[in-house]
């Protein structure tokens, strides 16, 4: 009988780590190929230059225009999109049977929307927590505490 491969994705908007195990209580080991880092600079550093200026609608005043979106948030979304695509490729290869996602609340919400249906079918648990800097033993304890994981 083949062992069940369980993967645990631990992520926030700019860092992701993947751990693998073969069942409850068998220990998790971090996959070197599953460690990603994205953009961690503040939003002001991601903008190219100062915002443009415009005239007031009434009167001679001028003011700066606000950017239509936060570049930091866009960088986080792009990072999570790449992470979801990597997981989708591994799922097609049959690299894991079950998946648990532990992510910062905002990242978890975005990942729910970005993960393809084939990957979400393998999803057995999720936790809204930022554990990207946690040790494997702490992550394993959190996974074991999840219902149904």
Higher pLDDT, 141 or 48: 141
CATH code of residue 76 = 3.30.420.60
Range of the domain at 101: 6-39+69-145
Higher pLDDT, 61 or 111: 111
In a domain, 16, yes or no: yes
**Cα(40)–Cα(42) distance, integer angstroms:** 7
In a domain, 51, yes or no: no
Q: What is the pLDDT of residues 122-147, one digit of tens each?
A: 999 999 999 999 999 999 999 988 88
Closest CA to 122 of 29, 24, 5: 5
Q: The dihedral of CA 114, 80, 43, 49: what is its sign?
A: negative
In a domain, 116, yes or no: yes
Domain count, the chain: 1
In a domain, 58, yes or no: no
3-state helix/strand/coil string of 33-94:
EEEEECCCCCHHHHCCCCCCEEECCCCCCEEECCCCCCHHHHHHHHHHHHHHHHHHHHHHCC
User: What value does the mean pLDDT take over residues 34-41?
Assistant: 65
In a domain, 115, yes or no: yes
The predicted pLDDT at position 64 comes to 64
In a domain, 32, yes or no: yes
Q: At what angle do helices 71-92 and 105-114 cross, to 10 degrees?
A: 50
In a domain, 60, yes or no: no
In a domain, 86, yes or no: yes
Q: What is the pLDDT of residues 57-86, one digit of tens each?
A: 666 666 566 656 677 788 889 999 999 999
């Amino acid at each position: 009988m083949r062992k069940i491969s369980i993967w645990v994705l631990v992520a926030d908007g700019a860092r992701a780590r993947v751990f693998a195990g073969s069942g409850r209580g068998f220990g998790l080991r971090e996959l070197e190929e599953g460690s990603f880092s994205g953009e961690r600079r503040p939003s002001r550093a991601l903008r190219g230059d100062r915002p443009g200026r415009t005239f007031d609608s009434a009167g001679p005043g001028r003011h700066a225009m606000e950017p239509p979106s936060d570049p930091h948030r866009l960088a986080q979304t792009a990072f999570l999109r790449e992470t979801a695509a990597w997981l989708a490729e591994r799922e097609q290869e049959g690299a894991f049977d079950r998946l648990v996602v532990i992510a910062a609340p905002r990242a978890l919400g975005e990942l729910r929307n970005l993960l393809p249906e084939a990957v979400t079918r393998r999803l057995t648990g999720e936790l809204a927590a930022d554990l990207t800097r946690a040790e494997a033993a702490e992550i394993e304890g959190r996974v074991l505490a999840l219902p149904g994981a």
